[in-house]
Amino acid sequence: MTGNGKKKIVIFSLAIITVIVGVYFFHSKRGYQEGDILFQVSCSRQSPFIQQATGSKWSHCGIVVEKNKQWYVLEASNVVKLTPLKAWIKRGKNGEMKKLRVLKKPIKIKYEKYLGKPYDLAFKFNNGKWYCSELVYDIYKSQLGIELCQPRKISSYKIDGLEHVLKKRGMNRNQLVVAPCDLLNY
């Protein structure tokens, strides 16, 4: 091998090492881990109501899971489903999101029993339907023994002017709920 050939191999090897180190640092800083909770501003019709009631810009959340070495967000939307991570981020308003890592150690979320369950427009616990923050709350409580927040009465939120929405959905002021912003206070 000529000196020129050895030089090309060294340069190529250094380039590969640089890319590997760069990818490692990128993912260690911004990377995802199963169990991370992601928050976004939903573009749904109910998002402004959630924002008004909670005083938070975050109106939707989900939990990161890994399937076949790919990242997904387990979310309750029209049904409970897995959405590819990049698609989930892109679907939120302006692609903006916030990540909460509750545990530093890797975990495995058992999500299969939730898939296909209907969305809960009445935001009620234990009715076989799920809304986004209830899903995340339940997974952490039932699978990991972590209560991310205390459920609150609907009346503890800013619901003035939203009575028609509550009535239409069969919700009452004393009903307990968890909102995306409540999970952020963990």
Count how many domains the chain has. Answer: 1
Give me the pLDDT at residue 30, please. 58
| Residue of 130, 133, 125 lying closest to 54 (CA atoms) | 133
Whether residue 10 lies inside any domain: the answer is no
Summary mean pLDDT of the chain: 89
Domain CATH code at residue 90: 3.90.1720.10
* Alpha-carbon Rg for the chain in angstroms: 21
Do the domain assignments include residue 144? yes
Whole-model pTM above 0.85?
no
pLDDT digits (tens, 9 = 90+) for 92-129: 999 999 999 999 998 999 999 999 999 999 999 999 99
- Domain membership of residue 23 (yes or no) is no
**pLDDT for 6-42, tens place per residue?**
676 656 655 555 544 444 444 444 599 999 999 999 9
Distance of alpha carbon 38 from alpha carbon 71, whole angstroms: 12
Q: The domain containing residue 73 runs over which residues?
A: 31-184
Residue 16 in any domain: the answer is no
